[in-house]
Amino acid sequence: MGLIPKVPVAQWISDATDLITDTFGFLFDFIKNDFGDFIEMVAEGWLMGIPTWVFIILIGVLAFFVSGKRLGLTAFSVIGLWFIANQELWEELMNTFTLVIFASLISVIIGVPFGIWMAKSKTVEKIITPILDFMQTMPAFVYLIPAVAFFGIGMVPGVFASVIFAAPPTVRFTNLGIRQVSHELIEASDSFGTTGTQKLFKVQLPMAKKTIMAGINQTVMLALSMVVIASMIGAKGLGQEVITALQRAEVGAGFVAGLGIVILAIIIDRFTQNLNTQRGEQ
């Protein structure tokens, strides 16, 4: 033990982070300011601009059609949202919703191409798989530290940390979905002289759609589960209420804010799942 002194891994990581912060500072600043403003505009300008009751009715109507004209999801959405509004958590809900949407969108935009890349090459799969394992098992709090270093506090680092935590299922499921396409269909496609791109868009992606959607559903759920953690670095929303309640030991307030997250989670989950099965059915 004594022969080898403590390897300064922590020091290296810190140095690397500092180096990245210094080198790409201009880029981070740009993202922090402009992207931050954009997020704020979406949350406060657009979503909060819609009157609460209009928003609730809109979601209710959407739920009705998305669920195949059944009343269960519609009733739950309307009552759930009304409850959150009633608890005066509407603004928090809109902030959380915005965070989840941005984190999910970015995860999908980054995740799907990586998934495709993995599916196309065994080597890439071998390299990316352990990275994904790392991303998912590393305690999510750890991502907050570089997030703050790069982007300060607020919504942007919250989105950043959420993306790291939430993107892996989309990558994995995209890879899986494409690899699951039966060998004979790939042969059929090849036998007609498809290029790689034609094969991807005409056969592999359409066939993998259901699996990819399942991955995206997971990603959205994980992004939502990051809400509380992200609020520790100043991301506004329901998570912040939970943290505040924790600090003040207010069981009731914490529970109500938590309930708000659960309601949002269930609504988003059922929406994405229904979209998936509807498109898959023919």
Partner 1 sequence: MPIIQVENLSKIFGKNAKKATKYLDDGLLKEDILKKTGNTVGVNRASFDVEEGEIFVIMGLSGSGKSTLVRLINRLIEPTEGSVYIDGQDLAKMDKKDLRDVRREKLSMVFQRFGLFPHRTVLENAEFGLEVQGIDKSERQKKAQNSLELVGLGGYIHQYPGQLSGGMQQRVGLARALANDPEVLLMDEAFSALDPLIRKEMQDELLELQETMKKTILFITHDLDEALRIGDRIALMKDGRIVQVGTPEEILVNPANEYVEKFVEDVDRSKVLTAEHIMKRPETVDIDKHGPRSALERMRKEGLSTIYVTDVKRNLQGYVTADDVSEAAKQDKKDLHGILRTDVPKVNPETPMQEIFEIIHDAPVPVAVINDGKLAGIIVRGAVIAALAGSEVNLNGFDS
Residues 6+ positions from 229 with CB-CB distance below 8 Å:
140, 141, 144, 161, 239
- Shortest separation between residue 228's beta carbon and partner 1, angstroms: 39
Among the listed ranges 67-75, 89-97, 148-156, 205-213, the one in contact with partner 1 (CB under 8 A) is 205-213
What is d(CA 213, CA 28) in angstroms, rounded to the nearest whole number? 31
Residues 6+ positions from 204 with CB-CB distance below 8 Å:
119, 178, 181, 186
- Shortest separation between residue 193's beta carbon and partner 1, angstroms: 4
Among the listed ranges 9-17, 200-208, 232-240, 262-270, the one in contact with partner 1 (CB under 8 A) is 200-208
60 to 42, 73, 87, 148: CA distances (angstroms): 21, 8, 19, 37
Q: Are 91 and 99 in contact (CB under 8 A)?
A: no
Sign of CA dihedral 227, 230, 232, 234: negative
CB nearer partner 1, residue 161 or residue 208: 208
Kindly identify the residues of this chain, within the stretch 11-50, that bind partner 1 according to CB under 8 A: none
Binding of residue 126 to partner 1 (CB under 8 A): no
Binding of residue 257 to partner 1 (CB under 8 A): no
- Shortest separation between residue 276's beta carbon and partner 1, angstroms: 14
**Per-residue x/- marks for partner 1, 127-166, CB under 8 A?**
----------------------------------------
Residues 6+ positions from 107 with CB-CB distance below 8 Å:
162, 163, 166, 167, 170, 219, 223
What is d(CA 60, CA 113) in angstroms, rounded to the nearest whole number? 33
Binding of residue 281 to partner 1 (CB under 8 A): no
Largest distance between two CA atoms of the chain: 71
Among the listed ranges 37-45, 203-211, 228-236, 250-258, the one in contact with partner 1 (CB under 8 A) is 203-211
Kindly identify the residues of this chain, within the stretch 179-198, that bind partner 1 according to CB under 8 A: 184-185, 187-188, 190-195, 198
Q: Interface with partner 1 by CB under 8 A: which residues?
A: 184-185, 187-188, 190-195, 198, 202-203, 206-207, 209, 282
